[in-house]
Chains A and B, each alone.
Chain A
């Protein structure tokens, strides 16, 4: 069974730039959630994708957007980067249905984004 993978591991960008982060879900999982984890904080929910559609969203502005592909992998895009976007971005996969995820949620290793 293949776990959740994310790329790249680290990324350095400057303010105003755009970034794309990638995630491959665990085998058998059809739902992907993205989280932002600032230093010393717990993960904050950004959004979730199920069947290639956004299933729910946390308190993040529209410049945070995403995609899910037919193989259930996913991308997180952030436009107009701000200094406060510097964080660990985590992807988690689970088995889900419309409007809900069921069962355990497994995380990838994360992408550490630094915005200068």
Chain B
């Protein structure tokens, strides 16, 4: 079993839809959680950074962390064709150097 599991998709939604992207993990010591967006053949771009549990909102993006279920989510409201990309989750333990990434979910927002 991988430490971080992420459905690879592709996930296709119509423009304007609310998108829900998710990751599950097995290591209960993970405390730092990040979401990245990666366009084809480009480096990942940091979208959201969360410590421990709870919600965080930034514009159209909301990140949720449920440590009791070992489950994190990224919601995208009013999705746009420009949101079409691969979304990667990443997480790490306190006091360690290594971020563990999911395989990424490919999202397509159809105009």
Distance in angstroms from B4 CB to nearest chain A CB is 8
Instruction: Give the residues in chain B near A35, CB-CB below 8 Å.
Output: 101
Instruction: Give the residues in chain A near B100, CB-CB below 8 Å.
Output: 45
User: Chain B: interface residue count, which band?
Assistant: 20 to 34
Task: Please report the total number of A residues contacting B with Cβ < 8 Å.
Answer: 31
Instruction: Give the residues in chain B near A101, CB-CB below 8 Å.
Output: 92, 97
Task: Choose among B4, B43, B46, B95 the residue that contacts A108 (Cβ–Cβ < 8 A).
Answer: B43
Complex interface residues of chain A between 10 and 37 (CB less than 8 A to chain B): 31, 33, 35
- The interface residues of chain A, by DSSP majority, are classed as strand
A76-96 near B? 1/0 per residue, CB < 8 Å: 000000000000101000001
Contact A104 B42, CB 8 Å, known A55-B97, A58-B98, A96-B97: no
